[in-house]
Amino acid sequence: MPVVMTYAGDLNDGLVDKYLGDSKAVIGDHAEQITVGQLGCVIGTHSGPGAIVISFAANEA
Q: At residue 6, does pLDDT exceed 90?
A: yes
Query: Which helix H or strand E contains 41, and what residues bound it?
Result: helix 41-47
Domain contains 44 = yes
Domain contains 28 = yes
Please answer whether residues 52 and 7 qualify as being in contact, where contact means their C-beta atoms are separated by less than 8 angstroms: yes
Domain contains 32 = yes
Compute φ and ψ for 51, nearest 5 degrees. Answer: -65, 145
Q: At residue 55, does pLDDT exceed 70?
A: yes
Domain containing residue 41: 3-56
Q: At residue 28, does pLDDT exceed 80?
A: yes
pTM comes to 0.75
Domain contains 61 = no
Please answer whether residues 14 and 47 qualify as being in contact, where contact means their C-beta atoms are separated by less than 8 angstroms: no
Query: Which pLDDT value is given to residue 61?
Result: 62
How many folded domains does the chain comprise? Answer: 1
